[in-house]
Structure 1
């Protein structure tokens, strides 16, 4: 009996530890599952970006109030009035169909909503028109609201050619060189050259590409570029689109090409540093302090007082220089006066002539070289 009853306390201790561990982990697991379910439900019920207008129709010169909701918080948006567009087909022709000069930028709040007033302008193409709102940076999101520009012409939309499908057939490249102005901070510019082929059954007319520029870890910023021309089914064409960076840009950039929501190609671009700007600032830091120092020294030289011991220029008198025979004679100097001796009357000392010396002077007691008389 003693041998059978011994292991009982051990099993009881294991059960107690397991119960305590389960009691600690169970709330954490339940919370984790609840958080995951809430996140999944939130993602499933996330509202799509939407736009509403205060007026559905207005003439040029008026204004409307644009309201939006369902956008990402603290996101920069651009609002444009575009022609040849519908909410179903989007903006046909890209931003070339929009009144870009009268567009307005707005930033969403923490709740992803915004409210902004914008002027009514006529787009460069006929209506139907929409108010087109799109994100400027980050993940692309757009929303359109039908709008009528009073007095603006209306034309039928072009027929859809859904059979066209473009693909890049050759390696993309960047063509062009930097100018001297780029060395001093001008925007670097190149041309993105690539060859596309129409793999669909219908021709593609005036395709609109999107070019994105990304620097480092930042998301690319997309711009629309329209190519004028028609690519027939089964044909190919070489396309050149301009690419331009901001002023003073330098470092490693990534150029992306997108068409129809699909990225067709990516091309790296290494941009050198604009050393001319650095040289300009170095020269500025050297020349300006030197000029200020010289101006300050000139001012100090003008305003400092003249010393009392310095005689005025107008009171100076020059001694006349000796002329003639006196100019060849040595100057007369007074002998030094011993220290402590009383002042004596000035005496005149005659200097010996240069052709006489004390030994060669004639003497009365010196015999002559002649014989006795």
Structure 2
């Protein structure tokens, strides 16, 4: 069992450390937890390795970190936080920490390199002088091919400091941190869409495909680690490149049109997404623009005039033009070939392999394959805001 002294000590850590970490914005333990009898109880015992905690040893030689115990390790009364708030609000990360991505990569690379050295000792020296494969611990100077391979292997092998498996959404969060770290250090690679990263993208898809948030033993849903804001933060949403813009349209179509399967998205077409302007009845000059998608029509409604509730809608965001669904839709149309704009069988067109920001054409007249749509969508579905929509959607049970 756990001694009273240890319980008190853990309670103190909870009281002092968590609020402090929250205040600094440094939430080092990105997992939703509930205090149960003084220990942390989660469905996944997750601990993202944090070097600043590595050195602090308690008097009894145990590290004074918040070890996240596997669920069921502590019985006792359920205690909620002092202010009565669910701790999920505090403990899920709110923004990307690029250095956290770097640490997980380093931790993995060190371990992988040791493993490779051991393997080489047991094998005969290869003929010729091929350099043995090693992963750089410094992400920025890693060659593209090496990074692609390393990130791909990480989807299966990366572990937390306690050797525990990281949940798919936690790993996705780590890769988004890595992406942000690369951008902040002048690397322009987009690990989620550049053709050189195909192997990683396929591995990530295998990891995320079919992911659902887990339910805590106490009955609440542990929210996804990945939020929409994080995607804007590391340039996975916006008009930064043809593939980012495409992802953004798919994201908005998932969020506002509630298209949550690849089949739903494959049915969208230029001819079905319509611009709509509404006058303000009190001020004729004041118009609100939206784009609409007709919901799947039932048989009897085909002859009727469309009413407002037959459409799903995306409304403009005049406060934030760079994130405005209408502006991004217009920009997409502007960058698509004229020949595709009336199509009734396609909407997501394949990005041209090489474009400059000012190229008149960003997309070919070839639609994305259903496989490509599925891969992009699997990264969108994991986002917390989309999960909340799926959770409230009437068809979510199907």
TM-score using structure 1 length: 0.21
Q: Which has the higher contact order (CA 8 A, sep 6+)?
A: 2
From the two aligned structures, give the one with the greater helix fraction: 2
Structure with the higher strand share, 1 or 2: 1
Determine which structure has more spread, i.e. the larger CA radius of gyration.
Answer: 1
